[in-house]
């Protein structure tokens, strides 16, 4: 079965994967739908279910005009299943030992467990982020920002649907059971937490929300891009369309932090002592600690720098590198090494490891480069405001819980230090409870159309050509 360019928008579950002609699958997904809505009502954005929100809804998989904008109540949002169309004759395995051979349209038996694990791990991140952000509407700095929060939330829900479709269609009873479990885990729950650590961290104020969408959703961009190179054709085409929506999530995070930096710069100059907090804003030290916190937790999502699983996934053609087809000529990578510093005898020593075993690090390097572009834009704001402060990314060795640096202690510059030195300085480097208390104290809701909270600058333009004073959420 191949995906169509046209979408059945009148179906109970909008789709371009032919659900109308697959009675068994359609019934299974329609049975899952009320469980999903129950989860949404329990764990989605609180207290705004009856409020019309100016949302975009996917109505096409074409490059032009793929989305429709209108006021929609979130529980009425049309979550659908969309795959990018592709000529089956042009679908090939894009990396690994079988690169160039015909792609798989069914799950190969020898890769069944690995593919299911990949899909479930990706799927679990989608509802997790909705759960982390469920209370933020109550402290929204504007209707514009509230709308962007809810847009991110409903699209994370649709990305969950994309992965659940694959589980139901291609993995039988195991897939159905995994789909049910996706609705049973909870972010931060001691007994049934989400699979990945970053998705169990609290995100209870807007500084963390913008950092999360900047750094953690950006990890999602690179993970989805790597899966878009998969030899399992339905997974590749699902993630290709997810990337279309994911771009907005990154925009929300990058511009949200930039607007905070802009406003903090203004308040810094207005206060006679350059005391941003005294003016009710967010000081640059706190912004830097937030960057350190969410950037490093997001690095953990790439997995270990040295990984047999990464080598196996690449070799099997299950997961490629970022823009595998466009950036690389050698898609098999049988030879070659990657040099990385490793801890040996209390010091850092450069080691060469087989390139395939370093595929997580290769993907992470692309991610770091992308993050650095955003930092340059933020620092241009400070430069333009003639403020001699610059924001930085910490070393990828700092504050790590996964990989070869976990269990060791580094400062933000990446220098190996003692545990005592780390603990003595931790509160200077990372978010602490007192930071959250301060942020929650200044984050009072600002619901008047066209108005923005004191701690954030307005955006440079509205959504889909709408003015800033547009009623993005009808309260």
Give the tens place of pLDDT for each residue, 283-313. Answer: 999 999 999 999 999 999 999 999 999 999 9
Gap between the Cα atoms of 225 and 364, Å rounded: 12
3-class secondary-structure state, position 387? coil
- Domain ranges, ordered by start, for the chain: 19-465
Measure the CA dihedral 39/43/48/50, to 10°: 10
- Please write the tens of the pLDDT for every residue from 16-71: 999 999 999 999 999 999 999 999 999 999 999 999 999 999 999 987 779 999 99
Residue 342's DSSP bridge partners are 349
Nearest-angstrom CA–CA distance, 119 and 101: 22
Residue 3, pLDDT score: 67
CATH number for domain 19-465, candidates 2.30.30.30, 1.10.620.20, 3.30.1490.20, 2.40.160.20: 1.10.620.20
Cβ atoms of residues 204 and 293 within 8 Å:
no
- Residues 383-437 pLDDT 10s: 999 999 999 999 999 999 999 999 999 999 999 999 999 999 999 999 999 999 9
Is residue 88 pLDDT above 90, yes or no?
A: no
Q: What is the dihedral of CA 161, 217, 365, 376, to 10 degrees?
A: 150
Q: What percent of the chain has pLDDT over 90?
A: 96
pLDDT at 2 over 80: no
Main-chain dihedrals φ then ψ at residue 64, nearest 5 degrees:
-105, 135
CB 106 within 8 Å of CB 150: no
How far apart are alpha carbons 237 and 204 in whole angstroms? 34
- 125 within 8 A of 436, measured Cβ to Cβ: no
Instruction: Decide: 103 and 316 in contact? Cβ < 8 Å.
Output: no
Instruction: State how far the Cα of 382 lies from the Cα of 463, in Å rounded to an integer.
Output: 26
Q: Is 226 exposed, middle or buried (0-12, 13-18, 19+ CB in 10 A)?
A: buried
Quote the CA–CA distance of 392 and 400 in Å, as a whole number. 17
Mean confidence (pLDDT) of the chain: 96
| Diameter over CA atoms, the chain | 70
The per-residue pLDDT for range 134-174, each reduced to its tens digit, is 999 999 999 999 999 999 999 999 999 999 999 999 999 99
Least confident of 57-71, 186-200, 216-230: 57-71
Q: Which SS3 state, helix, strand or coil, does residue 67 take?
A: strand
């Amino acid at each position: 079965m191949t995906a169509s360019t046209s979408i059945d928008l009148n179906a109970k579950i909008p789709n371009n994967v032919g659900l109308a002609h697959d009675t068994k699958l359609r019934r299974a997904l329609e049975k899952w739908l009320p469980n999903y809505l129950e989860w949404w009502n329990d764990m989605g954005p609180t207290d705004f279910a009856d409020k019309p929100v100016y949302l975009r809804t996917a109505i096409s998989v074409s490059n032009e005009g793929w989305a429709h904008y209108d006021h929609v109540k979130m529980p009425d949002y049309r979550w659908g299943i969309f795959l990018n169309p592709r000529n089956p004759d042009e679908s090939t395995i894009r990396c690994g030992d079988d690169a160039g051979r015909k792609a798989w349209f069914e799950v190969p038996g020898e890769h069944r467990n690995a593919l299911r694990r990949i899909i479930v791990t990706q799927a679990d991140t989608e509802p997790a982020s909705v759960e982390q952000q469920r209370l933020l509407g109550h402290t929204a700095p504007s209707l514009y920002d509230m709308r962007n929060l809810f847009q991110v939330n409903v699209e994370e829900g649709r990305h969950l649907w994309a992965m659940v479709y694959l589980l139901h269609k291609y993995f039988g009873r195991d897939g159905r059971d995994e789909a049910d479990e996706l609705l049973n885990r909870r972010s931060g729950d001691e007994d049934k937490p989400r699979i990945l650590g970053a998705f169990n961290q609290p995100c209870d104020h807007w500084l963390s929300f913008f950092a999360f969408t900047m750094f953690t959703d950006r990890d999602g961009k690179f993970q989805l891009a790597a899966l878009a190179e998969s030899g399992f054709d339905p997974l590749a085409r699902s993630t290709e369309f997810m990337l279309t929506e994911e771009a907005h999530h990154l925009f929300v995070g990058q511009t949200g932090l930039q607007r905070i930096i802009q406003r903090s710069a203004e308040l810094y100059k207005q206060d006679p002592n350059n005391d941003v907090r005294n003016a009710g804003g967010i000081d640059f030290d706190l912004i830097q600690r937030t960057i350190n916190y969410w950037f490093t937790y997001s690095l953990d999502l790439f997995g270990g720098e040295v990984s047999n699983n990464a080598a196996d996934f690449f070799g099997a053609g299950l997961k490629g590198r970022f823009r595998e087809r466009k950036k690389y000529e050698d898609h098999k990578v049988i030879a070659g090494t990657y040099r990385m510093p490793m801890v040996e005898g209390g010091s850092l020593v450069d080691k060469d490891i087989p390139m395939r075993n370093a595929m997580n690090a290769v993907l992470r390097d692309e991610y770091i480069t992308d993050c650095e572009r955003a930092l340059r834009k933020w620092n241009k704001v400070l430069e333009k405001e003639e403020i001699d402060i610059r924001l930085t990314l910490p070393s990828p060795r700092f504050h790590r819980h996964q990989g070869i640096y976990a269990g060791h202690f580094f400062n933000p510059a990446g220098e190996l230090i003692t545990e005592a030195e780390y603990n003595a300085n931790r509160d200077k480097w990372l978010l602490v409870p007192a930071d959250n208390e301060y942020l929650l104290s200044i984050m009072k809701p600002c619901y008047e159309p066209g108005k923005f909270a004191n701690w954030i600058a307005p955006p440079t333009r509205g959504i889909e050509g709408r003015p800033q004073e547009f009623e993005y959420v009808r309260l």
